Amino acid sequence: MEYEPTDLFAVLADLTRLRCLTLLAKEPSLCVCHLVDAMREPQPKLSKHLGVLREMGLVADERKAQWVHYSLKTDLPAWVRAALDAAFEGTNKQQPYADDAKRLKARLSPSCDKAA
């Protein structure tokens, strides 16, 4: 896939998408239900933004029973990965990213069937 810098930075400029990517960088794979709980955003909104990230080639998705799990793509070009890593470094201690990470850590469970 060919990545254009302007397209990448446009995707990263959206708060919801950057929040999703920041959480996906913390775990090998996350169910959309984990993102909903961590970000306190409605599932349809997150699914829409995750679709944009998938179309951009930044995330992969995998259906597991009734749930869709997302992960950061591992085969990103070095410059794309470096840009993402810089963004993640910049968001680590800022809000709402820090609260999202805290809620994600508390929420992670072996099964989405145990979702609260």
Structural domains of the chain in order of their starting residue, each with its CATH number? 5-105 (1.10.10.10)
Q: First CA to last CA across the chain, in angstroms? A: 38
pLDDT band, residue 109 (cuts 50/70/90)? low
- C-alpha to C-alpha distance for 64 and 112, rounded to whole angstroms: 10
- Whether 112 shows a pLDDT value over 60: the answer reads no
What pLDDT, on a 0 to 100 scale, did the predictor assign at position 110? 59
- β-sheet with 59-64: strand ranges across: 30-31, 67-72, 59-64
pLDDT, tens only, 11-47? 999 999 999 999 999 999 999 999 999 999 999 999 9
